[in-house]
Structure 1
């Protein structure tokens, strides 16, 4: 039997590594844990997502986001979604309004410089992720 502990990382491709690094550092506060080097040049890096979770980024010049991609988005839990939205707006990044979702979480959405969709999540005491129970989707 396998005992999954947590999500280790999500991997994304970037057409501009340094713009991507700046976005995740300056907008989302995620520091670089380490870089991947090849022939003395950085071609990727790991971003600290808290605990032992990470976002892995690799250079891929022709990368573009498509709704047909198999990975649709990734989600980051935040401590205070209102403060997160205000901070993101202060950085000039478009962010959706806070929504109370059918699973009793609060969420908002942004995109990174590569078009990758990022969901921001704030759990509540009633969140289905903790108390269970089927929920009727409202989208």
Structure 2
């Protein structure tokens, strides 16, 4: 920077700097400060919306879990009943199949059972069924 030769030139330079600051720099700083303030307000609004969104999501999760539990509680008696009905029907079919066997078939089943298990009592029961 060249040396200032007189006081008048020094004041003139200061005046030029003052004009540059007031006309160029300060308006730019004001614009930046306003933009910064707007940005902070938008971020605050965004944070509030995110908080509300997270709360809503948790509420939905709780609602879904409650509905699932209510559905399970409602369907459990029906499922238990259906399972018992299937067991009952299977047992009834088994008993009907056994009752349909004639005496000869009963004796054959008893004989095979006796051979498989080696029990004399089963053989005797088979012959008793044969001669009933």
Q: Which TM-score band (shorter chain)?
A: under 0.3
Q: Give the TM-score, by structure 1 length.
A: 0.15
- Structure with more contact order per residue of length (Cα contacts < 8 Å, sep ≥ 6): 1
Structure with more helix by fraction: 2
Structure with more strand by fraction: 1
Q: Give the TM-score, by structure 2 length.
A: 0.15
Greater C-alpha Rg: 2
